[in-house]
Amino acid sequence: MRLTIPLAAIAALGLFLAGCGGSEDVHESLAGTPAAINVVKDVEAMARACKKPSRKSHQAGVKGYTDLARVTSIHPEATFGPGEAEVTMRQLLHRAVEKTGHCIDVSVDASGRYHVD
């Protein structure tokens, strides 16, 4: 019991200091994380909905879109992609919907608003 109080205080101090002095321009990268694997799977599911149109691929594409939108809502400015080709999650979602959204009945307008058709 005595040991847990100092450890909790150290952990709280570490969290506090980690948030200090950071730049708002620094984006976290999802590269190499389990989320990156899911992002790739989601984008592939959306693309398959266009390549092989069927009810099952459409449903997988819609699920891929919602999963990708969920990650984007949590980490909109997180980067994804190799090297210089990195984009933010917000950009990735926008591009994926522009290219494959018509296959899953989702569109994005010029102002960046998403619509379910």
pLDDT tens figures, 27-44: 688 878 888 899 999 999
pTM as predicted: 0.72
**Tally of structural domains, the chain:** 1
Q: Is residue 10 part of a domain?
A: no
Greatest pairwise CA separation for the chain in angstroms: 62
User: What's the average model confidence in pLDDT over 78-88?
Assistant: 84
Question: Three-state DSSP class for 87?
Answer: strand
At 21, is the pLDDT very low, low, confident or very high (cuts 50, 70, 90)?
very low
Q: Is residue 35 part of a domain?
A: yes
Angle at 110 between CA 40 and CA 70, to 5 degrees: 35
Q: Is residue 3 part of a domain?
A: no
In terms of residue numbers, what domain contains 59? 29-116
